[in-house]
Structure 1
Amino acid sequence: MLELLSRLFNVRPHEWPRLLFLYGMGIVFLIGLTWGETIADALFLSRLGVENLPVLFVLEAVITIIALAIFSAFADRIRDDVLLIAILLLGALSVLLSRILAGIGQESLAFPMLYLASRVIRDVFNVQFWTYVNGFYDTRSAKRIIPVIATAARIAGAIAGLSMPIITSLFSQAVDVSFAWISTLILMAIMVWSMPRLLRDQAPSPASRASQKQGSGIGAYLNNIREGYGFVAKSPFLRWMAASTLLLIVLTTLITFQGSAIFVAELKDERVIADYLGTLTGITNLVMLPIQLFLLGRLVQRLGLGTANLIYPLSLLGICGSLILFPRALFSAAAQHFARTTYRTAFRNTLDNLMYNAVPLRVKGRARAFIGGLVMPIGTIIGGGLLLLRPLLPQIPWLLPTLIGAFALAYAFSAFVLRRQYARALVSMLAQEDYSFLLSSASDLAVTDNTTLDLLRSKLQERSETEHKIFMAQLILEIGGKRAVPILAEIAKDEPALRASIADLLSAADLGGAAVRHLLNALLSDPDGEVRRAAASGLMQYAYQDRKRINQIAARLLSDPDARVRLEAVPILLQADERLSRSALAALEPLLNAAEPSLRVSALQALGKAHDARYIAQVLPHLAEPNDEVRLAAALSLEALCASGKLPDHLARALREHLDSLLSDPIERVRRAALTLLAYAKVRQAEQVLIRFLADPSAEIRAAAVEALVRLGKPALKALTPLLERATPTVRLEATAALIRITKERATERLRAAVQENLLAIHANLARLALLQPCATYRSLNLLCSLLRERNAERLDAIFYLLSALHDPRSVQIIRQSLDHPQARVRANALEALESLLSPQLVKLIAPLYA
């Protein structure tokens, strides 16, 4: 039986005890909340009127901010179960106080307070409960388990809604239903307390412990809001999560007012309203239960979380259209009530919780506290403020329908953006592995007095070795900043190697200031050429915004007796006006014809740094050099120069004369450069030449050929397409990678087809290995097993190579490294990120390979 249920609900056998406990908690809480919210709505609307709702919306937001401010001060700092129990008990106390006020005749205070209590308890609970639940599961497990737990809302809603007429009939006054609500809050608190004791395990605790940085009161709250805002502001994904939440809350406020006005006009009596809303809630929950229980989890796995997250916004858009077209119909009010209660919790809240798995665990609580504690109330204030404008603008009857339509469209648009941002957020989290956030609390090293610098200066003088002095100079500069410059100027009078190192350190430090420029200017007159070169490099770096100043320094260096110093200035002057560029070429000419190969290499490198196609003619003669280093420098310089602009016909013709010899050069890097130059040289049928190199033994050569084919673009398609059918596996792989990059419109289709082919072959090999394993003691069969494993490794390499052809290679590399991580949670996050690049069905085939 357990095995059948496990397959049916996609739950592992060992997960059932905790799942049932969490499920029971959800049912108990939500039954009470449904009773409480329904009776609170009915009492307020019938006794105080729908015209007071906008004011209550604003009050709700202010009180929610205060409540969540208190919650935020503790989020991620104390154990999640303790915080959840406190929320439940405080909620029970607030409901009891509302009932006491009603009992002494203070209905004008009691009913708004009961209404507000139901909203605040719900909002704070939603933030903390799902953080509590997520702490038990990794990303992949959460995708299976959370949709199941979320169905507790359907069962609870059905039970509470259909029992609403019975509950109201049991009490002489409708307000006494609040006692039933209080009992459910207390019962859930007992369940949270008892679960770790009965299951003999520990409740989840946040990654950030209170011992790190303690705080209390308003200071802790402001710090948490600041930290939460910082995390949201730095993450595009969290920014869009916040924007989407804001749009939804404003929209929900508007349609709640519209629907409430219809209920009051059509139903009038508080018990009729309560019974109608309860029955509506019960029926809609019964309808949604099988959908959420059996469909939602599989829908997420099939479509992917980002695509499934579009369901609610698009459906809400249609429901808002009904409210606009039929503003007085009871079915429109019922539809909006369904959208913001049952449907919202079934789809939006469930998937929203899963979306937060793309946020690092340590900051998840505070990011959600910021969005739930500040963004959501701000949305309610905006919505309430817009509604308060209606009485002031009675001549604009279409104001509310227009606002509803505009916010519905904006919310749907934000969901499409989130779909794209979710994948990027997962990759970013894998890259960080939560470590970067540990740095946010570290203090920057700063020296507050000169004592430390004096101590380091004395340590510097203790030993005479140049390496020791260079190390100490670097340490002094890192710690002292600009205050270290006088110390460096003092020791710059020592040996040339130390002076050159100091100039390099100052260049790298990018300190700026008159003292640094003065020291570098002094070193520019140093008798040692290497010191002058380092000083020149630093001075030109500091003057990068002042082109005239850079040219003056470079022109001065052209007369330096040391060739290395002159070469530092040449690339700058080659990009200057005609007079300076002619001077630079004149200075470079002797170096290009120098007898020493290293000088010719340096001169060619200087030409390449100019990034100007005018200087190709000076490089071309050196492609025939017998010296390998010179020939390689010439080829690399041509790569840089040709990429800077379109080649004139005469230069392209001259380049073509050298390509045959370059393509057969013994130096691999020269051949790679030649493949790149093919596209620039306007070679006829260049694609046929490039295709020959797709079979090259060198992966680097094959990659260069693919890159050149991609640069050729659509003209290469005719030659590439036949290779998918009749070429060798290596050529077919490279041709597929090229086609994916050239034909963006069919890229995803080609990628998935190629990945599926490789995965099926891998699993077929795994099946063969399983059959051969008992006979692996025989040497011949053991060799066959090794061959099959090597083939699988090659096919797995091919899969990620093809992924890199369509997606950011760095992101693909991060995902692959994370799949090999020893922690299951990191591997689960990597599979989730991979799902955003491929289909969920293909990721299902990849997952067992990294189990």
Structure 2
Amino acid sequence: MELKVDKMNPKDIRKMLQAIEEEIFSRAEMNVKDMLESPSAYVRARAIKSAVERDMKIENIESFLDDPSPDVRKNAVSSMAKFGEDRDSILKALDDPSDLVRSATAKELVEFGYEDEELARKIAADPSKKVRKTFVISLAEAGESELLQEFNGDPSTDVRRILSAYNGELQLDEEVLSSLSGKFQKLAIHSRLGKLDSTSSEKLLGLIKDFRISKTKQILVESLEPFPEEVSVPALRKLVESEDSNVAITALKTYRKIKGYDVSLLQAAERFMDSDDEEMRFVGAQYVKGLLEPSAVDILREGLNDPSDRVRAICIEALANLMDNSISDVIDESLRSTSSRLKKASLRAVKKLKTLDVGDHVSRILSNRKEELQTRILASSVTGLLKLDGLLPCLEEIVVDASSESRLRLSSARAMARINPSRLADLFGFTV
């Protein structure tokens, strides 16, 4: 590939970065292949999982169904299902001696649409409750009512309870509901209520008041989300004012899912930020941040003194979004701290404000291999955005190190392309 480096236009740079990305990720694929040959079962399992996460297809993946490690075999099933391998090959894993593998297989078969009556009958006869329960949960989530009938006489109390929840047969009793997963608690609630109207909403509000288990109360509040807005919104606004912090927090989060960031709830969010409860302050700060409301600057500045790193980090980002340059000293202090959360928030703030002198801090973060990966990636991004040419040696060191994490190498290459594409071209052997 030949480029006129001294006259590189944006198109040339994009082509170069694409080629570099391919080279970096081909190195990652080679690393995965090496890991697959490791004598360590943990390493082999991690290699397959990593490949699935990166959308990398592994050649002869079905051969790993014979691996001595159940974790390796389980991950092999996930890979085969994701890439649409032959259904019969995946079905073989239902005869695996490990119920871990059979459970994973049952779930994957439903997720990728391979379920049918024959499969349901086979799994209904499986001796493992874990396998049958996993399959029933997957069928219920997929709404496969007919196939669920194969499990009506299941010997497991857990399986029968899930079926009862699905069919709307469970009483809305606190102890009974709390024995189910959160997803099936909601299913049981909605199936039992039937019509999602104001009468059902009032019933939920009554249960929220009467119940004592925090997680179940949270599920009840979240169960208002699918109601019509004219029913759910007034109910949630009422719950936001609850003295029960768990209820109030869940109500605000659920309200946000429905209506987004509503300035009419600014006072409620500010009240959250004045709470003694850290989670309330954090959720309140998140909401204020999303509002982008200039009138909230004062309470956000107060939040910079919060004892919680989480809250301070949110306030830093929120004030940066409002282009408040008065936080430069706070950013400087945060970049010196040991908190990755504060460092990341401050780096994001720098990307917004763009005027701060942070070269020394960014250099230290980039060069420190012990820093959290995402923090170093952000630091490289800031370097490119601000065109900190004094940090080119730091970027170069990362880019040429094949052992560096691929995302960090790519981010650093992109930063170099913004500052000095000629040098980047030299490093990767692109000739003039």
Match of 2:235 among 583, 586, 601: 583
Counterpart position of 2:340: 699
Q: Distance in 2 between matches of 1:682 and 1:416?
A: 31
Structure 2 counterpart of 1:755, which letter? L
Tell whether 2:188 aligns with 1:567: no
CA distance in 2, matches of 1:456, 1:730: 56
The one-letter code matched in structure 2 to 1:487 is E
Query: Is the CA contact (8 Å cut-off) linking 1:655 and 1:681 kept in structure 2?
Result: no
The 1:432/1:729 distance shift into structure 2, 3 A limit, reads closer
Question: Residue 625 of structure 1 aligns to a residue in which SS?
Answer: coil
* Correspondences of 1:481-496 after superposition (within 5 Å): 482=144, 484-488=147-151, 491=154, 495=157
Helix, strand or coil at the partner of 1:522: coil
Q: Establish whether residue 426 from structure 1 lines up as the match of residue 18 from structure 2.
A: no
Q: Determine if contact 2:168/2:188 at 8 Å carries over to the other structure.
A: no
Counterpart in 2 of 1:646? Answer: 292
1:558 Cα offset (Å) = 5.2
Q: 1:428 to 1:842 in 2, by over 3 A?
A: closer
User: Is the CA contact (8 Å cut-off) linking 2:270 and 2:284 kept in structure 1?
Assistant: no
Measure, in 2, the Cα distance between the counterparts of 1:693 and 1:498.
51
Provide the residue aligned with 1:58 in structure 2.
none
Verify: 1:677 aligned to 2:318, yes or no: yes
1:537 to 1:693, Cα distance in 2 relative to 1, 3 A: same
1:534: which partner in 2? 183
1:730 and 2:364 equivalent?
Answer: yes
The 2-side partners of 1:449 and 1:797 are apart by: 46
Kindly provide the amino acid, as one letter, of the partner of residue 804 in structure 1. S
How far has the Cα of 1:705 moved from its partner?
0.9
SS at match of 2:223: helix
CA 1:700–1:674: 2 relative to 1, 3 Å = same
Is it true that 1:459 corresponds to 2:108 in the alignment?
A: no
Residues of 1 paired with 2:390 and 2:344: CA distance? 19
Quick one: distance in 2 between partners of 1:568 and 1:486? 29
1:537 and 1:838, CA in 2 relative to 1: closer, same or farther beyond 3 A? farther
What does residue range 241-280 of structure 1 map to in structure 2 within 5 Å? none
Which residue of structure 2 aligns with residue 690 of structure 1? 331
Pair 1:424–1:645, CA change in 2 (3 A): farther
The CA deviation string for residues 597-620 of structure 1, in whole angstroms up to 9 with x for no partner, is: 544554454455453143332232
Instruction: Report the counterpart of residue 424 of structure 2 in structure 1.
Output: 839
Per the alignment, residue 520 of structure 1 pairs with 166
Q: Shift in Å at residue 635 of structure 1?
A: 1.1
Q: Deviations over 1:376-435 (max 9, x none)?
A: xxxxxxxxxxxxxxxxxxxxxxxxxxxxxxxxxxxxx99887545433433454455576
Q: Which deviations, in whole Å up to 9, do the C-alpha atoms of 1:555-584 show, x marking residues without a partner? A: 8355221433431134566x935x642222
Other structure's SS at 1:746 match: coil
Q: Does 1:436 align with 2:57?
A: yes
Gaps in structure 2 of 5+ consecutive residues: 34-55, 60-79, 92-113, 209-216, 368-374, 416-420
The amino acid across from 2:148 in the alignment is: V
Contact 1:675 1:690 in 2 (8 A): yes
| Equivalent pair of 1:623/1:634 in contact (CA under 8 Å) | yes
Q: Contact 2:380 / 2:411 at 8 angstroms: preserved in 1?
A: no
> Secondary structure of the equivalent of 1:436?
coil
Say if 1:838 and 1:430 are closer, same or farther in 2 by CA, change over 3 A. Answer: farther
8 Å contact kept, 2:289–2:314? no
TM-score, normalised relative to structure 1: 0.31
1:203-602 to 2 correspondences below 5 Å: 305=1, 307=3, 418-433=15-30, 436-438=57-59, 439=80, 442-444=85-87, 445=90, 450=117, 453-459=120-126, 468-475=128-135, 482=144, 484-488=147-151, 491=154, 495=157, 498=159, 520=166, 522=168, 526-527=172-173, 528-530=176-178, 534-535=183-184, 537=186, 552=196, 556-557=200-201, 559-560=203-204, 561-562=207-208, 563-570=217-224, 576-577=229-230, 580-590=232-242, 593-594=243-244, 598-599=246-247, 601-602=249-250
Name the aligned partner's letter for residue 622 of structure 1.
F
| CA offsets 1:211-251 (integer angstroms, 9 cap, x no match) | xxxxxxxxxxxxxxxxxxxxxxxxxxxxxxxxxxxxxxxxx
Report the Cα offset of residue 522 of structure 1: 1.6
| Pair 1:602–1:416, CA change in 2 (3 A) | closer
Q: Contact between 1:672 and 1:700, CA under 8 Å: does it hold in 2? A: yes
Aligned residue in 1 for 2:305 = 661
Distance 2:223 2:411 in 1: 39
Q: Answer whether contact 1:636 1:673 (CA < 8 A) is retained.
A: no
TM superposition shift of 1:624? 3.5
The one-letter code matched in structure 2 to 1:709 is: V
Alpha-carbon offset, residue 443 of structure 1: 1.1
Distance 1:568 1:499, change over 3 A: farther
Q: C-alpha displacement at 1:539, in angstroms? A: 9.3
Match of 1:339 in 2: none
Question: Which amino acid counterpart does residue 568 of structure 1 have in structure 2?
Answer: E
Q: Residue 240 of structure 2 contacts residue 249 of structure 2 at CA under 8 Å; is this kept in 1?
A: no
Choose the corresponding residue for 2:411, options 798, 804, 807: 804
Tell me: CA distance 1:479–1:632, structure 2 relative to 1, closer, same or farther (3 Å): closer
Task: Letter of the 1:454 partner, please give it.
Answer: R
Query: How much does 1:696 deviate?
Result: 0.7
2:19 alignment partner AA = Y
Q: Does the C-alpha gap of structure 1 residues 636 and 478 become closer, same or farther in structure 2, counting only changes over 3 Å?
A: closer
Within-5 A mapping of 1:65-84? none
Once the two structures are TM-superposed, the CA of residue 731 in structure 1 deviates from its matched residue by 7.1
Q: Where in structure 2 are the equivalents of 1:142-161 lying within 5 Å?
A: none
CA distance in 1, matches of 2:190, 2:19: 39
C-alpha offsets along residues 464-507 of structure 1, whole Å, 9 cap, x if unaligned? Answer: xxxx534322246669983532235555x974x5467669xxxx
Distance of aligned partners of 1:635 and 1:500 in 2 relative to their CA distance in 1, 3 Å threshold: farther
Shift of 1:695: 0.7
1:659 Cα deviation (Å)? Answer: 1.7
Give the whole-Å Cα distance in 2 for the aligned partners of 1:801 and 1:742.
13
CA contact (8 A) 1:632 1:669 kept: no
Question: Aligned residue for 1:625?
Answer: 275
After TM superposition, list the pairs within 5 Å mapping 1:31-70 onto structure 2: none
Q: Note closer, same or farther for the CA distance 1:651–1:533 as it changes in structure 2 (3 Å cut).
A: same
Shift of 1:653: 3.4
Normalising by structure 2, we get a TM-score of 0.55
